[in-house]
Structure 1
């Protein structure tokens, strides 16, 4: 599977909305209240306007997305570095490693080579049955947890991207 990546524009809002609805549907069953779970088209457009939202496509078809919330943005992450959010893959495509490819691309091409960040953070819900384990397998380390008043505890993870840039 050959993926191409690009930054989302408002023209992509409808397709992104469809993908987010499909990919986050199971979170409702787990009682997880991520903003993406109930995102309408207005929230999708707001997300595209206020974050760096990337799309992964195969032969021009949207198959996944991942976003970065920046430290100076409206919803910064906990550590003053880019924070990964709205990471989703079309669940109808089965387990083909698309999510792993998207995450690896973001870590290498964007975070390491373009933004040159020392580390990145992300958050997930304690109620999710497999995400925390998946992120741990991908080299992320849990460093905090917080009750954000959404009905679940948010686990915060970080991954070192450029050790040479870490301050003593």
Structure 2
């Protein structure tokens, strides 16, 4: 089995559309107004061209994708990198592909390439498992937002990527 982590290209658009559309089924059922949930081929192509879209390819098939935004959705509240459009082929759910891709993007792109000490993302309070999943991965809620568009409360979440020194009361690093 070959695993390839790479930036998406225009030729990947159809596979990304398929994976994203199927992965975002619950998002549509919950009535969330996320662009990725109803994206068409043109929007996927625009996402690849405008942002840094990454994929995990297994044996030549795109199985997971995530986008590092260049659009500045959260620039009003933080300069930290923002990831979005995270999707995993539902047929491969539970194999850890999404976690592997997210780990790779955090380590090699956000921390390694950009030198950022943390990353942000946003998710909906009403989604039944996303908030706890991100919290298990080390993300913490830092801001509650309500765009008044029917999505309800959205959490902006942050994960620290660099180990910060820990000092005890005597000032000894542990």
TM-score over 0.5 for the pair: yes
1:44 aligned partner: 44
CA displacement 1:80-127 (0-9 Å, x = unmatched): 121010011000113111111111111111112111102110000111
Distance 1:35 1:151 in 2: 14
Distance 1:56 1:103 in 2: 9
The two structures have a TM-score, normalised by structure 1, of: 0.90
2:6 aligned partner: 6
Structure 2 unpaired stretches of 5+: 165-174
1:146 aligned partner: 145
Distance 1:48 1:123 in 2: 20
Q: Is the 8 A contact 1:116 1:162 kept in 2?
A: no
- Cα offset, 1:61, TM superposition: 0.7
Q: Is the 8 A contact 1:50 1:74 kept in 2?
A: no
- Cα offset, 1:2, TM superposition: 4.7
Pairs within 5 Å for 1:75-154:
75-76=73-74, 78-152=77-151, 153-154=153-154
Distance 1:33 1:137 in 2: 25
CA displacement 1:133-158 (0-9 Å, x = unmatched): 00000000100011123312211100
Q: How many residues align?
A: 162
Alpha-carbon distance change, 133 to 10 in structure 1, aligned in 2, over 3 angstroms: same
The two structures have a TM-score, normalised by structure 2, of: 0.87
- Superposition RMSD on alpha carbons, in Å? 1.6
Alpha-carbon distance change, 45 to 76 in structure 1, aligned in 2, over 3 angstroms: farther
Moved over 2 A (4+): 73-78
Structure 1 unpaired stretches of 5+: none
Greater C-alpha Rg? 2
Distance 2:141 2:9 in 1: 32
Distance 2:28 2:73 in 1: 22
